[in-house]
Structure 1
Amino acid sequence: MASLKEVRSRIVSVNSTQQITKAMKMVAAAKLRRAQDGITQLRPYAQKLGEMLSTVSAAAESAVDSPLKTVRAVNKVLIIVVTSDRGLCGAFNTNIIKATLQLIEQKYAFQARNGNVEIFAIGKKGAEAFSRRGFVVHTGYTDIFTRLSFVSVKQAAEEIMKDFSDGRYDAVDLVYNEFKNVATQIIHADQYLPIPTDYKVGKTKKLEVNYIFEPSEVEILAELIPKSLKIKLYRSVLESNASEQGARMTAMEKATENAQELLKELRLIYNRTRQAAITKEILEIVGGAEALKN
């Protein structure tokens, strides 16, 4: 049985840990509110931009020849992996890493065996995980969550689009967590480039409307296509940020509850140990008294 000093030390340690997890939960809750506001405001804009692109492309009389639509034989692959910069958020990062490895195994196994799969890491945890596994990892935007803004994500999207247009990569996929609620995140593994040749969403039919394009339909679509890709990447980063805070809030809440249960057990052990020590002392006193009496 542990001594009273050891049990007291463990109680103090667990109590300190519980205070830290409580504070981290409160911080995550505050950050989650801001992250939710950001993604709630962006979702309607991103959806409307997609509808606009679908409508304009459906009404256009001629197809737009964009290098971002070019379909090539897939030799070189880039996978954008959106994780967090810090841990203590449950299985948030682990699930993304597993989903990415599964994507590589199922879709790009041949390219991976030839060393032609590279990782574009947004978030330090993903960069560290795939570096350990021997992948070529681009780490220029791993600290993007430090000052999260559209400008920084836009730069990352422009760099990716340029590399694809120059033929450095033949396919680009995007893996991230979509925020549903505090306890639930949905993993998405979407094709980012080349963009689909058909912009129509679902069963949207070509509208019977005579549009007047100013400037030309080619110029409008040439502007909308890159903008939609930038917004898509920005949305995935915001979704991941909100998901991270929700996962961290849930993880810290569970940690706080576990610490409380552990404190109950330790206090019970402490009381039993203390009672045993007192009983032992009483027995020693009684035994000594009996010895003197005899």
Structure 2
Amino acid sequence: MPSLKEVRNRIVSVNSTQQITKAMKMVAAAKLRRAQDAITQMRPYAQKLSEMLGTVSAGAEAAADSPYKQVRPIQNVLLILVTSDRGLCGAFNTNVVKAAVARVNERYAEQARRGNVKVMAIGKKGGEGMQRRGFSVNTNHIDTFGSLSFSTVREAAEEAMDAFVAGQFDVVEIVYNEFKNVATQVIRVEQMLPIVPTPAPAGVTANVNYTFEPDEEQIVSELIPKTLKIQLYKAVLESNASEHGARMTAMDKATENAGELLKELKLVYNRTRQAAITKEILEIVGGAEALASE
């Protein structure tokens, strides 16, 4: 049985940990509200932009000639992993890394054996996880969440887009956590490049002659890159909200576990203290009986 001092030290330690997890839960809850508002506002815009691209592509010849639609034999692959910079959020980061590795094993095993699967890490944890598994990782954008904005994400998107157009990669995919609610995040794997044909929205007939102003080529040349950047930005916002939700849930569970552990430690402390008092009483009684017998 541990000594009273050891048990007291453990109680103090667990109590301090519980206070930290409570504070982290409150911080995560505050950040979650802002992140949730951001992704809620972004989703309709991203969806409408995608619908516009589908509508324009249905009748625009320039869209078919876009360099972002080039379908080539898959020799080189780029995976964009969106994770967090910090841990203490349950299996949030691990699930993204596992999904990326599973994707490689299922679809790009041959390319991986030749060393032609590269990773662009947005968030430190994903890059570290893939490096441990032997993948080549682009770490130019791991600090994106330090100053999260469209401009910082746009730089990562443009780098991937330029590499695709230059022929450095034949396919670009995004792996991230989609935010559902505080307790639920869903792993998503989306193809960013080449552009996947988007069906026209309901009620819009394909092969319709559209009038473009100022001209078809300029509109398509601006719409497609913007849609790709928004696609990545939306994935980053989804991941950001998911991270705070996962951390809030993890810290809530950690706080509960600390409370249960404190109950057990206090019970052990009381039993240890009672045993120590009983031992002292027995020693006193034994000493008194020894003196009386003399």
Q: TM-score, normalised by structure 2?
A: 0.96
Task: Kindly indicate whether residue 210 of structure 2 is the aligned counterpart of residue 172 of structure 1.
Answer: no
The alpha carbon displacement at 1:55 in A equals 1.6
In structure 2, the partner of 1:56 is 56
Q: Percent identity?
A: 69
Deviation digits for residues 70-129 of structure 1, max 9, x if unmatched?
Answer: 000111110000010000000000100100000000000000001000000000001111
The aligned amino acid for 1:74 is I
Contact 1:179/1:239, CA 8 A, preserved across alignment: yes
The alpha carbon displacement at 1:292 in A equals 1.1
In structure 1, the partner of 2:102 is 102
Query: Whole-Å Cα distance in 2 between the matches of residues 61 and 78 of structure 1?
Result: 28
Query: Whole-Å Cα distance in 2 between the matches of residues 165 and 138 of structure 1?
Result: 18
Stretches of structure 1 that go unaligned for 5 or more consecutive residues are none
The alpha carbon displacement at 1:57 in A equals 1.9
Query: Whole-Å Cα distance in 1 between the matches of residues 113 and 206 of structure 2?
Result: 46
List 4+ stretches of structure 1 deviating above 4 A.
201-205, 207-210
Distance 1:38 1:68, change over 3 A: same
Contact 1:64/1:218, CA 8 A, preserved across alignment: no
Query: Whole-Å Cα distance in 2 between the matches of residues 204 and 236 of structure 1?
Result: 28
Secondary structure in 2 matching 1:141: coil
Contact 2:82/2:175, CA 8 A, preserved across alignment: yes
Query: Whole-Å Cα distance in 1 between the matches of residues 127 and 62 of structure 2?
Result: 42
The aligned amino acid for 1:271 is N
The aligned amino acid for 2:6 is E
Secondary structure in 1 matching 2:210: coil
The alpha carbon displacement at 1:209 in A equals 6.7
- Aligned-residue Cα RMSD (Å) equals 1.5
The aligned amino acid for 2:236 is V
Alignment of 1:1-294 (within 5 A): 1-60=1-60, 63-196=63-196, 198-201=197-200, 205-206=204-205, 211-294=210-293
Which is further off, 32-41 or 200-209?
Answer: 200-209
The alpha carbon displacement at 1:202 in A equals 6.8
The alpha carbon displacement at 1:59 in A equals 3.4
Contact 1:32/1:246, CA 8 A, preserved across alignment: yes
The alpha carbon displacement at 1:64 in A equals 3.4
Query: Whole-Å Cα distance in 1 between the matches of residues 79 and 8 of structure 2?
Result: 50
Contact 1:59/1:206, CA 8 A, preserved across alignment: no
Query: Whole-Å Cα distance in 1 between the matches of residues 222 and 20 of structure 2?
Result: 48
Distance 1:50 1:204, change over 3 A: farther
The aligned amino acid for 1:15 is N
The aligned amino acid for 1:106 is E
Query: Whole-Å Cα distance in 2 between the matches of residues 63 and 286 of structure 1?
Result: 97
Contact 1:64/1:221, CA 8 A, preserved across alignment: no
Distance 1:14 1:201, change over 3 A: farther
Query: Whole-Å Cα distance in 2 between the matches of residues 208 and 283 of structure 1?
Result: 98
Query: Whole-Å Cα distance in 1 between the matches of residues 185 and 141 of structure 2?
Result: 23
Distance 1:71 1:148, change over 3 A: same
The aligned amino acid for 1:185 is Q
The aligned amino acid for 1:281 is E
Secondary structure in 2 matching 1:291: helix
The alpha carbon displacement at 1:208 in A equals 8.8
Contact 2:62/2:220, CA 8 A, preserved across alignment: no
Distance 1:5 1:248, change over 3 A: same
Contact 1:14/1:263, CA 8 A, preserved across alignment: yes
Query: Whole-Å Cα distance in 2 between the matches of residues 148 and 97 of structure 1?
Result: 21
Contact 1:176/1:188, CA 8 A, preserved across alignment: yes
